[in-house]
């Protein structure tokens, strides 16, 4: 059977793949696995002679299906003897922060990030707000549906609402930023998602003038034409308003992208470059290093080298970026898609936190976002997905030889990346070059080799 947990929790079409029954079973299994592993805090006295129970926090994005999935998750946890705090609609990084700030033993976020409304997902967070390891997720999956002794009476978990904790998260992200944003005119696109309340509020408190779009979720319109995967509306509003810039979050606000005053997109690589250069100048960039994935643009790496900053590469996925940061003591990393991790302040990618720090650089420098983004020049990047091939042959001799020949042709101003899909019979061919014409020519040539060598 295929593994139930993906790279970012359990996802699927809510009500079909991700059912209420599965959500409840996953929550019960998670409570048992973490409890048996000693992950829950040591039991103490509540002052009434009863033992304290483990505590979980549960948050969600505004999807309609989040309502029944939240009920199922809460029921599973409480029936397992876990007290539950319902946080309501909040970004994933807010749930991660509050898992740590409230001393919870477990965090649960219900979201399918940038996916359309019919999808949903369940993500578990360990004490401290970090994602669970693959080994723990595998154990949760293994113990689904097992027999267990059910608590009764006073031993069952209690449930209460904690919607006011959103303010604790807003205060936290604001406290990480130097200076205010007075005078900045910002358009913020909340994707009709989890940040629709906290992001405009935080930016207003920081002193910015704010126009919010994509901030009226109805349960079905999340990511529909708005947010970081649909930037055209943000571009239009920024230009028509004459705003200084725009910020776009995805459905659960764990990432952000930006738009400068001309409507040009500023992607995750450019945002990381701006933040890295600022932290490097301030002496706060740990080991003068930033962590990025193999998909980051070569222009980013060349710019960082020019600035005296080392780039450490990982596989694609923010969890691999985070693992490298934690293991080697780095404090800034992320992806081209806008997942940026600032480990001094957060345990996961945080779109609101990232945007506030980006805006702080703009405000403190007196420069436009367009000027700041020019710290790097993105090289043309062509990606071709070659389908219906044997992904296991991505290292075939004929293809390896063709890649070596292409790399010699491109030199230091180009790059080739061949990546087999993790789930489909497909091999991805990515080429960067000094010109789009050259990148396209080389990518198409390599794609033809894949079609022949990888059948």
Positions annotated as catalytic residues are: 113
Count CB-CB contacts under 10 A for residue 152: 9
**Residue 217 C-beta-side C-alpha neighbours within 13 Å:** 26
| Non-local CB neighbours of 72 within 8 Å, separated by 6+ positions | 20, 21, 23, 24, 27
User: Alpha carbon of 227 to those of 31, 53, 93: distances in Å?
Assistant: 34, 39, 17
Q: Record the tokens describing residue 398, joined without a space.
A: 């004929």
Contact call for residues 398 and 452 (beta carbons, < 8 A):
yes
CA separation for the pair 431, 406 (Å, rounded): 9
Helices (H), ranges, 222-297: 232-241, 268-282
Strand pairing report for 83-89 and 55-60: parallel
Q: Record the tokens describing residue 232, joined without a space.
A: 């055209």
CA separation for the pair 261, 449 (Å, rounded): 42
User: Alpha carbon of 27 to those of 32, 64, 113, 265, 402: distances in Å?
Assistant: 9, 20, 20, 40, 49
Would you give the end-to-end CA distance of the chain in angstroms?
A: 25
Count CB-CB contacts under 10 A for residue 103: 12
Contact call for residues 144 and 109 (beta carbons, < 8 A):
no
Q: Where does residue 340 rank: exposed (0-12), middle (13-18), buried (19+ CB within 10 A)?
A: buried
């Amino acid at each position: 059977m295929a593994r139930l947990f993906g790279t970012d929790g359990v996802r699927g079409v809510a009500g079909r793949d991700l059912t209420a029954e599965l959500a409840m079973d996953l929550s019960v299994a998670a409570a048992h696995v973490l409890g048996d592993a000693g992950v829950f805090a040591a039991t103490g006295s509540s002052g009434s002679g009863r033992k304290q129970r483990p505590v979980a926090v549960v948050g969600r994005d505004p999807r309609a299906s989040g309502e029944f999935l939240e009920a199922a998750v809460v029921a599973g946890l409480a029936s397992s003897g876990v007290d539950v705090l319902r946080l309501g609609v909040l970004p994933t990084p807010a749930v991660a922060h509050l898992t740590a700030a409230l001393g919870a033993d477990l965090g649960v976020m219900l979201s399918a990030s940038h996916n359309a409304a019919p999808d949903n997902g369940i993500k578990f967070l360990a004490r401290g707000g970090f994602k669970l390891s693959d080994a723990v997720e595998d154990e949760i999956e293994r113990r689904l549906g097992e027999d267990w002794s059910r608590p009764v009476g006073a031993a069952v978990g209690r449930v209460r609402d904690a919607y006011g904790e959103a303010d604790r998260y807003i205060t936290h992200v604001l406290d990480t930023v130097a200076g205010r944003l007075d005078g900045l005119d910002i358009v913020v696109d909340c994707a009709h998602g989890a940040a629709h309340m906290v992001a405009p509020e935080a930016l207003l408190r920081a002193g910015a003038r704010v126009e919010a779009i994509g901030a009226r979720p109805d349960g079905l319109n999340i990511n529909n034409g708005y947010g970081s995967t649909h930037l055209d509306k943000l571009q239009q509003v920024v230009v028509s308003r004459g705003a200084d810039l725009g910020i776009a979050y995805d459905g659960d606000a764990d990432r952000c992208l930006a738009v400068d005053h001309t409507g040009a997109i500023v992607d995750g690589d450019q945002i990381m470059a701006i933040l890295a250069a600022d932290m490097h100048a301030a002496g706060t960039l740990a080991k003068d290093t930033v962590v990025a994935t193999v998909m980051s643009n070569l222009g980013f790496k060349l710019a960082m080298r020019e600035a005296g900053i080392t780039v450490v590469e990982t596989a694609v996925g923010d969890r691999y970026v985070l693992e490298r940061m934690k293991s080697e003591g780095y404090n800034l990393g992320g992806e081209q898609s806008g997942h940026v991790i600032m480990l001094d302040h957060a345990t996961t990618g945080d779109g609101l936190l990232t945007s506030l720090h980006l805006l702080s650089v703009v405000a403190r420098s007196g420069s436009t976002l367009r000027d700041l983004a020019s710290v790097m020049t993105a090289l043309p990047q062509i990606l071709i997905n070659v389908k219906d091939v044997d992904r296991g042959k991505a290292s075939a001799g004929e293809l390896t030889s063709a890649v070596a020949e292409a790399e010699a042709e491109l030199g230091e101003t180009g790059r080739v990346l061949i990546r087999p899909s993790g789930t489909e019979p497909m091999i991805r061919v990515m080429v960067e070059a000094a010109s789009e014409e050259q990148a396209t020519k080389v990518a198409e040539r390599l794609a033809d080799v894949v079609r022949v060598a990888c059948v």
